[in-house]
Amino acid sequence: MVVLTAMCASLYAAVLIPFMVVPLIPGLTHFRPANALPIVCSFLFGPAAAWGAAFGNLIGDFFTGLGPGDLFGFIGNFLYAFVPYRLWRACAAGDTPAGAGTPAGASDPVPRTIGGWALLLAIIAVACMLCAATVGFGLQLLGFVPFAVLANVIVLNNFVTSAVLAPLLLTVLYPRVRRARLLHVDILGPPPRRSLGRRVLGVTLAVAGTLLAFTLGNLASGGWLDGTTLVALSRNVRFLVLVLPSLAAATAGLLLL
């Protein structure tokens, strides 16, 4: 898993760095076709992909100059690759036929039905929003850029590249990695089967927390909530009170899974 973490980090950084010459918000974010890789690696390598995405993004940030905002980039990219395999495993919606060679505890993420496609795209959307909400939250608190600007750019950038490239890459790579017995469930063993109630609670917290954090962050950043009962608080404190509990709930939901 350590080797796979290093491989994911180096691959992510290697594809990130050449496209840093195409900025979307100068000094903060750029065109990132590499954003499909954490999604793909998440389904293949599980937690190794999460740490690999975090460190790979940090390596890429060295080339634009490190700053305090990169801490939130580290956390956001970790969550970006942490969400897919946790949610997919909890929903257990893979449609691999019996005896197709999928190891115990795994569920084939290559969609073959409309329901499989819908679930895959929904999970990608949740991963994109949680990453964007985390990075946008941190950079607004630091006073670098408004949440409503940065978070929406990140979601659009991540989702478009991942929704187009991730299914194609999974179709090619997943069967080969499975045959090589390098899936995270091959290395770590089958994960413990969570009870239905725990899975429902975890998925609900993860999805609802992500949607709330993203929505409240946009509303608070845009000044739409200035007239509420929280008006006595400063803008940054109000933003913190509104968004941080939702991010915490989403993270807690993922840990339950």
Q: Read off the pLDDT of residues 165-176 as tens digits, 9 standing for 90 and up.
A: 999 999 999 999
Task: Determine contact, residues 116/5, Cβ cutoff 8 Å.
Answer: no
Which whole number is the average pLDDT over 129-142?
A: 94
Report pLDDT for 192: 83
Q: Is 185 left (phi over 0), alpha (psi -120 to 50) or beta?
A: alpha
How far apart are alpha carbons 250 and 248 in whole angstroms? 5
More confident residue, 204 or 222: 204
| Residue partners of 142: CB distance under 8 A and separation at least 6 | 68, 69
Cα 58 to Cα 234: distance, rounded to the nearest angstrom: 31
CATH 1.10.1760.20 fits 2-192, yes or no: yes
Supply 221's token pair.
């950043």
Amino acid at 245: P
Alpha-carbon gap, residue 202 to 86, rounded angstroms:
10
Tell me, rounded to whole angstroms, the distance of Cα 67 from its chain centroid.
Answer: 21
65 pLDDT more than 80: no
How far is Cα 1 from Cα 49, in angstroms, rounded to an integer? 9
Tens digits of residue pLDDT in 137-165: 999 988 888 898 899 989 998 999 999 99
Q: How confident is the model at residue 194 (pLDDT cuts 50, 70, 90)?
A: confident
The yes-or-no verdict on residue 242 having pLDDT over 50 is yes
Residue percentage of the chain with pLDDT more than 70 = 84
pLDDT mean across residues, the chain: 85
pLDDT band for position 99 (50/70/90)? very low
Question: pLDDT value at position 225?
Answer: 66
pLDDT for the residue numbered 247 = 96
Residue 107 has pLDDT above 80, yes or no: no
